[in-house]
Amino acid sequence: MVIVLFATLVLTIALLGPTMDRILLEAIRFYVVEQVNQSDIRFANAAERQRYIDGQIELQVKTIGLDEPWYAPKRFTNTVLKVMVLDLGKSNYLTSETGSANVRDIILEKMPKTILLFTTSTLIVTVIGLYLGAFVANRAGSVWDRLNSSFAVFSGSFPTWWVGMLMIFVFAFTYHIFPARATPLTPPSDPAYALDLLYHMLLPLITIVLVAFGSWAYIVRYFVVGILGEDYIAAKRAAGVPENRILYSHALKNAAPPIVTVIALSLASSFGGAITVEAVFGWPGMGSLYYQAIGFLDIPIIIGLTYISTVIFIITVFLTDIIYAYFDPRVKVA
Amino acid sequence: MTVAAEVISRSEIIKEFRRSKSGLAGVVILFGLIMVTIYAVAAIPLESFGQWNNPNFWIDLPKAAAPAWTNLLGSKVPEHIVLTAKDAAVSSSVDGGIRTVTHSYTVNFNYDSYPSDFMLLYSARYGGTQPILQIDVLRPDGNEFQIYFASLPSSQQGSNEFSARVFSTDRQIANNLRNYAGIFEYPQDTSRPHVMIFSDSQQNRVLKGTYVIRETFYFFDPGDSAVNSGVILGGKVYGLMGTDELRRDLAVGILWGAPVALFIGLTVSIAGIIIGLVYGVVAGYKGKRTDEGLMRINDVFYSLPTLPLLVILSVTIGRSIFLITGFLVIFGWVGMAKISRSLALQLKNMQYVEAAKLMGQSDTKIIFKHIIPQLIPLTFASIAIAVPGAILGEAALSFLGLGDPSIPTWGQILHDANSAGAAPRGLWWWIVPPGLMIAITGLAFVLIGNALDAIVNPRSRKV
């Protein structure tokens, strides 16, 4: 687990290190020249001025250790350790709503909104998927089953963000039911903010659910059909246990372990999808932040978000293993 | 149930595949995409494809025009009208040393709404004295508007050719039109010449009929001449698929997107699956420490967040289409490695593999001659299933604005549409076709892959 985190971090820093150094160097140069221009220091000629500026730049570069390359052991360990303890530094351009440039503050401000949107949608999708999946599994081969399978294949081929654009076109442009941008207009301090946020959340929520629930039902169906063929189900049927009870409490429960795994993994990896979906709707979460950070090349934020999303993913994978063991007694927690 | 018993011959696979309706549907769609590819390569010049991001190349086309066939459905909105010097009636006269050359264009304007804009092209060759260009519009109701009267810029050398275009947004046109505002019974906005010139003077609606647009050059030197002229009335509909905000013909981008998407999808999936196959088989066959080590590396890749890392890779390393393909391969082999490892674990205990081992065959030979050939049918199914992921990955990357800037892809068209606010503005022809193409391409491969998988994969055969 720690190895994976470390690998991601090293990879991210290795990829972004040179660019970050270049940006820092340019910022220092700009800052020094600006300072000299505004100060009262008089120079005899242009050469002396240039010398002074160069001296100042070198001084600053030495102070923050930019004279060594990013992969120098000292700097590298420093960066890795800092990120590992969530000291993510300051952003270059973007700030939080309260005006803080601290990357941790910015991310913590956006995180609840991403979690709100994607946890809610995953929950809805899971409930629909479980019941629809079990329903069609019991009628394998029927019209419903075939309809669901083809819907799953179709919806699985659609990019969610594209469906999002279509939804905006239909529900914001043609019928003015939902707002086109998902960023609420009321300030966060207003008591109506929560309500406004929910209203703005509806369109992205509907989009995600619409695209995802077909594939979900299909996955559930796959596992439940397998369980329904088992002997003990036939025994229950023979014993006269009601069909619905067999389906929803016995079959579904036994199909739970693999389903739980898939749910957890999809929830954890939804951050990748969050980038595009939030960018389409302008939902003010981590994905939008990532999208903006790409636009501004705000590297501390990119590193911070990549790190945090990896942490979330890995923790989820770990928890899933534990939950799996709980549901499936055959697996022992080592 | 052993794997060997499940291995079926090629003819059997084809026979079973023919029976799968969805598989055949996939093949039909794929065939259609290949036809689109052939058509794009044959009919659309590579030049217009390479110039996708050069605004000057597309300047003669209308802005954000709907597909032409929408005219069949509802009201008749103006089509894009391009008139070149060939369509002009040229007349000239000499009057006291001043030579007048007139190019007049006759336009039959019978549409229910105004053109979106207009452009007047001209090109003249002249020496020291600058000629004067005058543009008039004779309307069907008999009114004549002089909309432009200006001298051309002075020439740098002795004799040069100067070409330029007068846009409907030109301030001079608005100034000149102020003289005619009195003709209209209702207030007219002179800053919208494309509306005012084509308006009825009594009611606020389009004045239908025949317009004559005259470009008159006044030359003062005998050697001067008018080389070229033209009139473009910006339509609201254009071509098969319309145009976008930057006047680009969407048909070019969407049709050329097919070969690009097929290239990315197939390259990424074939490379990824083959790497995963060999990797997994080696891990499974060698076992012990090798297996453990290789599978840990696999776990690391499995846990990496794909899209964020793809973004970082393309921000820092580069955005060429080949690099993006390479990045997608980095994440494309992980799943196949797991599957092929588990199958190799079963295969390596087969008697013929053990026999080969006893005969002293090298591990490399056993892996490539005895184990991998058994997994070939599964490989084909996996390749087909992996294609949509690759196409969606590239589309998502392009959608975030990180695609190859020199090649139009469906994702990039959608990126442009999203940043221009196409959805809130209702420009559906800019949004629907590219996304539909992505979905259809993915669908074709999913259908083929699922059909193949149902035949060759022992696990899904059971259900």
pLDDT digit string, tens, across residues A182-241: 676 666 677 777 777 888 888 889 888 988 888 888 888 888 888 887 788 888 888 888
- Calculate how close chain B gets to A231, using CA atoms only, in Å: 15
CB nearest to B443's CB, from A15, A153, A306? A153
**What are the tens digits of pLDDT across the range B19-70?**
778 888 889 999 999 998 888 888 877 777 778 878 788 888 888 888 877 7
CB nearest to B442's CB, from A157, A271, A317? A157
CB nearest to A165's CB, from B306, B400, B431? B431
Please answer yes or no on whether B400 and A157 come within 8 Å at the CB atom. Answer: no
Residue B1's pLDDT is 37
- Number of A/B CB contacts below 8 angstroms equals 146
Closest CA to B400 of A203, A294, A182, A296: A294
Residue B5's pLDDT is 43
The ipTM of this complex is: 0.79
Residue A271's pLDDT is 66
- Calculate how close chain A gets to B12, using CA atoms only, in Å: 24
Strand partners, B123: B163, B228
Residues of chain A positioned with their CB less than 8 A from the CB of B446: 153, 156-157
* Minimum CA–CA partner of A163 in chain B: B435
- Calculate how close chain A gets to B257, using CA atoms only, in Å: 16
Residues of chain A positioned with their CB less than 8 A from the CB of B424: 168-169, 172-173, 180
**What are the tens digits of pLDDT across the range A116-150?**
888 888 889 888 988 888 888 888 778 888 888 88
CA pair distance B113, B93, nearest whole angstrom? 37
Closest CA to A306 of B313, B321, B329, B412: B313
- Calculate how close chain B gets to A17, using CA atoms only, in Å: 9
Please answer yes or no on whether A162 and B300 come within 8 Å at the CB atom. Answer: no
**What are the tens digits of pLDDT across the range A74-87?**
777 777 777 777 67
CB nearest to A279's CB, from B388, B400, B425? B400
Residue in A3, A165, A228, A266 to test binding to B, most B beta-carbons within 10 Å: A165
Residues of chain B positioned with their CB less than 8 A from the CB of A3: 296, 300
Mean pLDDT across chain B: 83
Confidence band, pLDDT 50/70/90 cuts, at residue A329: low
Question: How many CA atoms lie less than 13 Å away from A101 in the CB half-sphere?
Answer: 9
CA pair distance B300, B295, nearest whole angstrom? 9
Please answer yes or no on whether B435 and A297 come within 8 Å at the CB atom. Answer: no
Residue B463's pLDDT is 40
Residues of chain A positioned with their CB less than 8 A from the CB of B463: 222, 225-226
**What are the tens digits of pLDDT across the range B169-211?**
888 888 888 888 888 888 888 888 888 888 888 888 888 888 8
Residues of chain B positioned with their CB less than 8 A from the CB of A7: 300, 304
CB nearest to A306's CB, from B312, B317, B450? B312
CA pair distance B79, B65, nearest whole angstrom? 9
- Calculate how close chain B gets to A45, using CA atoms only, in Å: 40
Residue B273's pLDDT is 92
Residue B158's pLDDT is 58
